Amino acid sequence: MDITIRQATPEDVADITTLFRDTIINVNALDYNEKQIAAWASVANDTDIWIERISDFYFIVAERDTEIVGFAYLKKGYYLDGLFVHKDHQRQGIASALLRTIESQVMIEDYPEIRTDVSITALPFFEDRYFDIVKKQKKTFKGMAFQNYIMKKTL
């Protein structure tokens, strides 16, 4: 696996939002219904939010050759707010590499744990990486209820 992890730039926003939308539509659709997927995927349409995330948070991308194949970002120094891997590059170690980089950043910033909200789809990935479920919850977004999990890992 030849991937490079680097800081995201505003120039990456089109690739990031396309990857986000395509992953939700093709991967998360296994665990959520059509209306939930449409609501969730619509977040990709607001490029201003993504540019703000890239500017304000620790936001990294994974590249293979020159293609962005995944991304992850931290909010508040310890909260993993997003981790997505391209639909055609699942189960190739990309999410693990992104998570290791994120966890290293959390430790550099001297936080004792990392927290995240995890979709049903991503739950097995995080459980396999020693995250514990804090709480199962229902969140409402754009009028749709989503089941997900608050998880944490002591570093």
Q: Encode pLDDT of 73-112 as tens digits.
A: 999 999 999 999 999 999 999 999 999 999 999 999 999 9
pLDDT tens digits, one per residue of 36-72: 999 999 999 999 999 999 999 999 999 999 999 999 9
Query: Who's near 118: CB < 8 A, 6+ residues apart?
Result: 126, 131, 148, 149, 150, 151
Helix axes 47-56, 13-26, angle to 10 degrees: 110
pTM: 0.95
The domains found in the chain, sorted by start residue, are 4-111 (3.40.630.30)
